Amino acid sequence: MTTKSLEKIQEVFIGRYGHIPLKIPDEDLVNRAKGSMPYGSGRLFYIFGEEEGREYFEYYSHHRIGGNGHGKIYEDGESLSLPTLETGFAYNPNIPGDAERKRAENAEEYRKTLEDLNAKGMFSSGPVPGALVINSHIMAEELEKGK
């Protein structure tokens, strides 16, 4: 990845979180080192990787009040939004069984997303916010109920 590519990733990241002063630490950016930083009352985690010959920066933010954000920024500046760990879901009370079906779908999506993030080592570079740990425990119980 060139210096220009690194600058592009930083630019896109700052644009994403421009409402608060977040910036990928220069040393982590140059060394493509995973890390984390405080994010309000939560934490933002990040890793670097390569996919189909393109390097990327992937981040996951969890804020106790403001929710979650998950995305990938490629070296050319292209960015993607990725699934987040959500505990809430919507259903139609007029459709019999819709709440149970949506609850099970949500728990399964949570499980897949959490497994993916853990496999990448996303949460291994800093303290995981308590609210995220509690949410994961609750969702694991939901999955057990569905078996």
- Quick: pLDDT tens for 22-71: 899 999 999 999 999 998 888 999 999 999 999 999 999 988 776 789 99
Q: Domain spans of the chain?
A: 3-146
Q: How far apart are the first and last CA of the chain?
A: 45
Model pTM score? 0.88
SS (H, E, C) 95-129: CCCHHHHHHHHHHHHHHHHHHHHHHCCCCCCCCCC
